[in-house]
Amino acid sequence: MNWRSLVRHETILALLVVVTLVLLAQRSDRFLTLDNLLNQGRLMAEVGMIALAMTFVIVTGGIDLSVGSIVGMVSIVLGVFWHDVGLALPVAIVLALLVGTLGGTVNGLIITYFKVPPLIATLATLALYRGLAEGISQARSVRGYPDWFFVFGQGQILDVPVQIWIMVVGAIVAACILGLTVFGRTTYAIGSNEIAARFSGLAVDRTKILIYSASGLCAAVAAVVFVSRVTTTRSDMGTGWELDAITAVVLGGTSIFGGRGTIVGTALGLILMQALKNGLLLAGYKGDSTIVVIGAALILTVLLSNLSHRGRET
């Protein structure tokens, strides 16, 4: 163990997060309150869940641009199953989650069996799933969900919002799978050198399909939570979330070329993004300046990380 192993992306990012939190806390006394922090956790949970699966996707060297559209499609399907088809809401939720997972599986199949690059495959399904959401919904919103359903988006367990529990449990599971299991090592192997992984006898295609399916499932869970939070269903839900999730993952040190990245990094990336959005606003800066700062932070951390990474390789 030498000092170089400490100069990892996650360490740099963690320091950056701490510095940011301290600076922001000095600018507004409302920032570091438990109430605000829990509320911020609530607001970032949906993108957070998507980012967990997105970490796996990007570690394999792939990308999933369709997650925002899957959120839209799953919300609509949830509303249609419950309101128009007349199924019980719990059944509708389960079916909607299945539809989201199927959406992800379709991505995986297109990518593995037809050898379509992930960028193009999911760009196509981004349009396809959003189109389905709009077509099926006929631009009608579904409203009037029963009160118990709002637990997912607005309820609390032990004073902590329900969606934070879902996100934290998801993060722990994802971190264990990626860091400790054969599946996780296969994921890294695919991202480092897919051909070598195939020759080593690893189940490359099966792993990829599972990862894209999980990405669809996470987007579907996020959709259910979001519908519960805003109490209505719209076909444009989740627009642009794919970019937020990818930003968090890349900010967290996952290499867009694959083979490198951790769930801890993604979590730090998410926290940094949300802290900047919220803290700058509380400090009196307007919304457009936060976008600029997040862009700058992204470039800065990636540059720092590349420097440290290069340092280790030489």
Partner 1 sequence: MIRLPLAIALGISLCGVAHAASTWTGGDDLPTNPLACDNTPATVAAKPYNGASVTGAPDRKGKTLTVVDVPKLIGIGYFNATSKGMADAAKELGNVNVKTDGPTKANIDDQITFIDNYITSGVDGILFAANDPVAIAPVLKKALGKGINVVGYDSDATPDARQWFVNQAQSNGIAKSLIDNMAKEVGEEAGVAIVTSTFTTPNQARWISEMGAYAAKCHPKLKFLETVEAQEDNTLSFTQATTLINKYGSDLKGIFGMTSVATPASAEAVTQAGQCGKIAVIGLATPNAMKPYVAKDCVKSVVLWNPVDLGYAATYVLRAVTDGTLKPGDTSVKAGKLGDLQVINGSEILLGAPFVFTKDNIEKFDF
Binding residues (CB under 8 A) for partner 1: these are 28, 30, 35-36, 39, 43, 102, 105-106, 109, 113, 128, 131-132, 134-136, 138-141, 143, 154, 226, 229-232, 234-240, 277-278, 281-282, 284, 286-288, 291
Query: What is the smallest separation between the CB atom of 184 and partner 1, expressed in angstroms?
Result: 25
Query: What is the smallest separation between the CB atom of 290 and partner 1, expressed in angstroms?
Result: 10
**How far apart are the C-alpha atoms of 254 and 272, rounded to whole Å?**
15
Query: What is the smallest separation between the CB atom of 58 and partner 1, expressed in angstroms?
Result: 23
Task: Kindly tell me the burial class for residue 18, based on how many C-beta atoms sit within 10 Å of its own C-beta (0-12, 13-18, 19 or more).
Answer: exposed
| Nearest to partner 1 of 256, 281 (CB atom) | 281
Query: What is the smallest separation between the CB atom of 132 and partner 1, expressed in angstroms?
Result: 4
Quick check: 20 and 276 in contact, CB under 8 A?
yes
**How far apart are the C-alpha atoms of 288 and 284, rounded to whole Å?**
12
| Nearest to partner 1 of 102, 304 (CB atom) | 102
| Nearest to partner 1 of 4, 30 (CB atom) | 30
**How far apart are the C-alpha atoms of 41 and 80, rounded to whole Å?**
29
| Nearest to partner 1 of 39, 192 (CB atom) | 39
Contacts of 12 (CB under 8 A, 6+ apart): 301, 304, 305, 308
| Nearest to partner 1 of 154, 192 (CB atom) | 154
Query: What is the smallest separation between the CB atom of 103 and partner 1, expressed in angstroms?
Result: 8
